[in-house]
């Protein structure tokens, strides 16, 4: 709908190209560094224009990849389990709340909404999850705290159901003898693919990128580390080495790779997102727009 | 009689909706565990916490946690940092996002528009762990690009970025903007796209230039979105992005004066320094202030422009 002058349009292109570059170049630095030979890195530091290309970082990772492959598996597993559980829980709560006839509807809606206004913070949550539910050093630590369902997602999905699914269709289903579960599965869900996809996408990204649950709740079981936790541990030891301190507790259990390998690990963690993202870009934009306005 | 019948029909209504209640059970249970049960832990701010005694069993100790927190001087630093960063982020972030959204709206070719959107959204897709690796590739002492290429090339001495607190307000602001501007600009862009083109056409007939169109039509019509997003940010004035302030400075103790916020302080108190007393006092301040700010700002907006209120 651009209606303004030609000059301004050219200006827009120029600025947007610069902004796009600023988003890509930092990633390029990461990728270039991972393909630079260790000797060149030590001589010139990380650079966009490496003096000598080399695959040695990746070769090293290939040969000592046990931990990384394991972390990868954990990322995949927790993202899959987490996203499916999130989708199920959110849908099962949002659908009844979208039904006008539900007794106590406003009370339950408030129960969901209030969680967006007030929360206890890290310490109480940590104590509830570790002392009452004892999820520390279990797989559940990656799934349960905070990410499993959030009030905002429920509210967004609920309003999608109430605005997009006419009551008459639900009524018709009931007259045909469909129970509530049947109605949900064979009438409501097929009509709600966009919101289901958006919810799954957002939840999937949150699980894939999460490192906080691992940081809080995985202390001894480093075998449960996701790729993000692994990277996080690596950077902690990197920091520690650059400060020349000696504290074996930080590096215990993890071998510290050299300068280039660090960047290679980060690239490996990044690649799935960079590959999948362009295909799902429209979905993400839609999700942002839905989430950005009032739920 | 009336009452009896009312109760009976309610019972009936509940029974006829039983499948729906069963559906809600897992979600409601999760909220009770993950969101409501922890609220009882707020009392720890007024207790001397011992792991063996738990939330309820620990002894009360009045406001001692708060007096320790404020006497030590940490409270002033972390509250100042949290609020100031948020205000800077809010102002710069909003201006930058609206600017980008207006530029995006000028692009005619659909493919170009989509390409720009895809690229500027990339930082949003990346976790802060990876961002901290990228930051390190730039700022690292011996290997970082800025020290080894840029400053060296200009004949300047290397800077020890991870030990100099004075640079970090700029570094963190830059990284925050980098990570969030694409996301926010897409929200604003969606609003701009929804503006009726007739407004612009009429204004052009009246001889309005680019700047007039932006300042007299686009910006005023963006106001509701700006208010809503600002409101949400003000409600989170006492919250900081843990990833940004913990990961990116690599938890470097020398930088705490400009990188320590309520969230990093609470985390370190709980899991690194075992200083649960002061940390839970800080967490209490965060929870309560966050709640009051949401209620307060919403109340003000409801008085001034009720249609923009959140609830």
Query: Mind giving me the DSSP string for B186-237?
Result: HHHHHHHHTS-HHHHHHHHHTT--HHHHIIIIIHHHHHHHHHHHHHHHHHTT
pLDDT digits 0-9 by tens, B117-154: 999 999 999 999 999 999 999 998 888 999 988 898 88
Nearest CA in chain B to A32: B137
| Confidence class for position B10, pLDDT limits 50, 70, 90 | confident
Which one of B5-19, B48-62, B170-184 scores highest in mean pLDDT? Answer: B170-184
Q: What residue ranges do the domains of chain A occupy?
A: 65-292
Average pLDDT over residues B226-232: 86
Inform me whether the pLDDT recorded for A251 exceeds 50.
Answer: no
Q: A86: closest CA among A201, A177, A219?
A: A201
d(CA B237, CA B79): 10
Nearest CA in chain B to A89: B27
Of A96, A180, A278, the CB nearest to B118: A278
| Confidence class for position A97, pLDDT limits 50, 70, 90 | very high
CB atoms closer than 10 angstroms to residue A9: 16
Topology of A65-292 in CATH? MetI-like fold (1.10.3720)
**CB < 8 Å to B100, chain A:** 16, 19
pLDDT digits 0-9 by tens, B144-178: 999 988 898 888 999 999 999 999 999 999 999 99
| Confidence class for position A290, pLDDT limits 50, 70, 90 | confident
Inform me whether the pLDDT recorded for B67 exceeds 50.
Answer: yes
Domains of chain B: 64-308 (1.10.3720.10)
Q: A196: closest CA among A86, A52, A109, A62?
A: A86
The first and second tokens of residue A286, run together, are 């839609």
Contact B277, B48 (CB under 8 A): yes
| Confidence class for position B99, pLDDT limits 50, 70, 90 | very high
Task: Calculate ∠ Cα B250-B255-B256, nearest 5°.
Answer: 100
Q: Report CB contact under 8 Å: B20, A125.
A: no
**CB < 8 Å to A284, chain B:** 121, 125
Which residues are registered as beta bridge partners of B59? B48
Q: Report CB contact under 8 Å: B129, A228.
A: yes
Nearest CA in chain B to A204: B125
CB atoms closer than 10 angstroms to residue B107: 19
A–B: how many Cβ contacts below 8 A?
308
| Confidence class for position B268, pLDDT limits 50, 70, 90 | very high
| Confidence class for position B278, pLDDT limits 50, 70, 90 | very high
d(CA B165, CA B145): 19
**CB < 8 Å to B243, chain A:** 211-212
Mutation target vs B (from A79, A122, A204, A286; most B CBs, 10 A cutoff): A122
**CB < 8 Å to B250, chain A:** 235-236, 238-239
Inform me whether the pLDDT recorded for A250 exceeds 70.
Answer: no
| Confidence class for position A44, pLDDT limits 50, 70, 90 | confident
Nearest CA in chain A to B277: A123
User: Given this model, what pLDDT does residue A294 score?
Assistant: 44
Q: Report CB contact under 8 Å: A211, B129.
A: yes
pLDDT digits 0-9 by tens, A45-71: 898 988 888 888 888 877 766 788 899
Question: Within its chain, how far is the Cα of A228 from the centroid?
Answer: 10
Inform me whether the pLDDT recorded for A187 exceeds 50.
Answer: yes
**CB < 8 Å to A120, chain B:** 35, 38-42, 283, 287
d(CA A222, CA B111): 45
User: Given this model, what pLDDT does residue B39 score?
Assistant: 96
Question: Within its chain, how far is the Cα of A162 from the centroid?
Answer: 27
**CB < 8 Å to A8, chain B:** 106, 210
User: Given this model, what pLDDT does residue A167 score?
Assistant: 87
**A262 Cα to chain B: minimum distance (Å):** 8
Average pLDDT over residues B255-278: 95
**B15 Cα to chain A: minimum distance (Å):** 10
| Confidence class for position B5, pLDDT limits 50, 70, 90 | low
Question: What phi, psi does B276 have (nearest 5°)?
Answer: -65, -30
Of B27, B186, B269, the CB nearest to A289: B186
**CB < 8 Å to B116, chain A:** 16, 19-20
> pTM for this structure?
0.91
Average pLDDT over residues B192-210: 89
Q: Report CB contact under 8 Å: B137, A111.
A: no
Contact B11, B20 (CB under 8 A): no
Nearest CA in chain A to B271: A216
Residues of chain B numbered 255-294 and touching chain A (CB < 8 Å): 263, 266-267, 269-271, 276, 279-280, 283-284, 286-287, 290-291, 294
Contact B179, B131 (CB under 8 A): yes
Average pLDDT over residues A245-263: 54
Contact B176, B242 (CB under 8 A): no
Phi-psi region of B140 (alpha: psi -120 to 50; beta: other; left: phi over 0): beta
Q: Does B202 touch chain A (CB under 8 A)?
A: no
For residue A225, the SS3 value is coil
DSSP B56: H
Average pLDDT over residues A258-269: 85
Q: Report CB contact under 8 Å: B31, A281.
A: no
User: Given this model, what pLDDT does residue B6 score?
Assistant: 59
The first and second tokens of residue B198, run together, are 């007739």
Q: Report CB contact under 8 Å: B38, A119.
A: yes
Mean pLDDT rounded to a whole number for chain B: 91
Q: Report CB contact under 8 Å: B134, A26.
A: yes
Inform me whether the pLDDT recorded for B297 exceeds 90.
Answer: no
Inform me whether the pLDDT recorded for B182 exceeds 50.
Answer: yes
């Amino acid at each position: 709908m651009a209606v303004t002058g030609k000059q301004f349009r050219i200006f827009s292109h120029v600025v947007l190209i610069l902004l796009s570059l600023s988003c890509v170049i930092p990633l390029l630095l990461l990728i270039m560094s991972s393909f630079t030979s260790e000797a060149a890195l030590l001589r010139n530091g990380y650079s966009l224009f490496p003096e000598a290309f080399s695959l040695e970082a990746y070769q090293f990772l290939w040969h000592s990849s046990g931990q990384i492959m394991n972390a990868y598996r954990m990322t995949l597993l927790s993202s899959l389990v987490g996203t499916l559980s999130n989708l199920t829980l959110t849908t099962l709560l949002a659908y009844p709340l979208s039904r006008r006839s539900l007794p106590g509807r406003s009370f339950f809606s408030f129960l969901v909404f209030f969680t967006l206004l007030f929360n206890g913070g890290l310490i109480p949550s940590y104590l509830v999850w570790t002392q009452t539910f004892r999820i520390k050093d279990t797989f559940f630590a990656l799934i349960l705290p905070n990410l499993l369902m959030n009030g905002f997602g429920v509210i967004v999905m609920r309003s999608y159901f109430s605005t997009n699914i006419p009551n008459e269709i639900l009524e018709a289903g009931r007259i045909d003898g469909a129970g509530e579960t049947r109605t949900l599965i064979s009438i409501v869900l097929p009509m709600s693919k966009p919101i289901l996809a958006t919810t799954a996408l957002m939840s999937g990204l949150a699980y894939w990128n999460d490192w906080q649950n691992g940081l809080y709740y995985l202390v001894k079981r480093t075998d449960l580390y996701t790729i993000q936790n692994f990277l996080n541990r690596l950077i902690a030891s990197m920091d520690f080495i650059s400060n020349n301190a000696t504290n074996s507790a930080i590096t215990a259990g993890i071998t510290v790779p050299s300068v280039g390998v660090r960047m290679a690990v980060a690239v490996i963690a990044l690649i799935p997102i960079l590959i999948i993202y362009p295909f799902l870009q429209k979905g993400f934009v839609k999700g942002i727009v839905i989430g950005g306005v009032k739920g | 009689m009336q009452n009896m019948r009312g109760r009976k029909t309610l019972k009936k209504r509940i029974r006829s909706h039983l499948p729906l209640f069963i559906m809600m059970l897992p979600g409601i249970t999760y909220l009770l565990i993950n969101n409501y049960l922890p609220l009882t832990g707020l009392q720890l701010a007024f207790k001397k916490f011992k792991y063996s005694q738990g939330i309820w069993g620990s002894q009360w100790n009045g406001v001692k946690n708060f007096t320790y927190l404020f006497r030590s001087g940490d409270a002033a630093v972390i509250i100042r940092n949290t609020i100031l960063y948020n205000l800077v982020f809010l102002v710069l972030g909003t201006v930058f996002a609206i600017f980008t959204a207006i530029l995006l709206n000028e692009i005619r070719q659909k493919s170009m528009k989509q390409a720009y959107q895809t690229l500027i959204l990339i930082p949003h897709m990346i976790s802060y762990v990876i961002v901290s690796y990228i930051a390190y590739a730039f700022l690292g002492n011996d290997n970082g690009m800025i020290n080894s290429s840029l400053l060296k090339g200009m004949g300047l001495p290397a800077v020890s970025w991870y030990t100099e607190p004075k640079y970090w307000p700029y570094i963190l602001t830059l990284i925050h903007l980098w990570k969030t501007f694409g996301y926010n600009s897409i929200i604003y862009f969606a609003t701009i796209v929804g503006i009726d083109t007739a407004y612009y056409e009429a204004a052009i007939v009246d001889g309005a230039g680019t700047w007039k169109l932006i300042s007299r039509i686009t910006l005023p019509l963006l106001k509701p979105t700006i208010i809503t997003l600002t409101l949400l940010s003000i409600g989170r004035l006492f919250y900081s992005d843990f990833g940004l302030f913990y990961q990116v400075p690599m938890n470097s103790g020398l930088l705490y004066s400009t990188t320590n916020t309520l969230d990093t302080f609470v985390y370190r108190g709980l899991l690194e320094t075992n200083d649960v007393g002061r940390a839970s006092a800080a967490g209490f301040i965060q929870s309560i202030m966050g709640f009051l700010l949401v209620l307060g700002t919403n109340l003000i907006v409801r008085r001034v422009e009720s249609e923009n209120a959140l609830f």
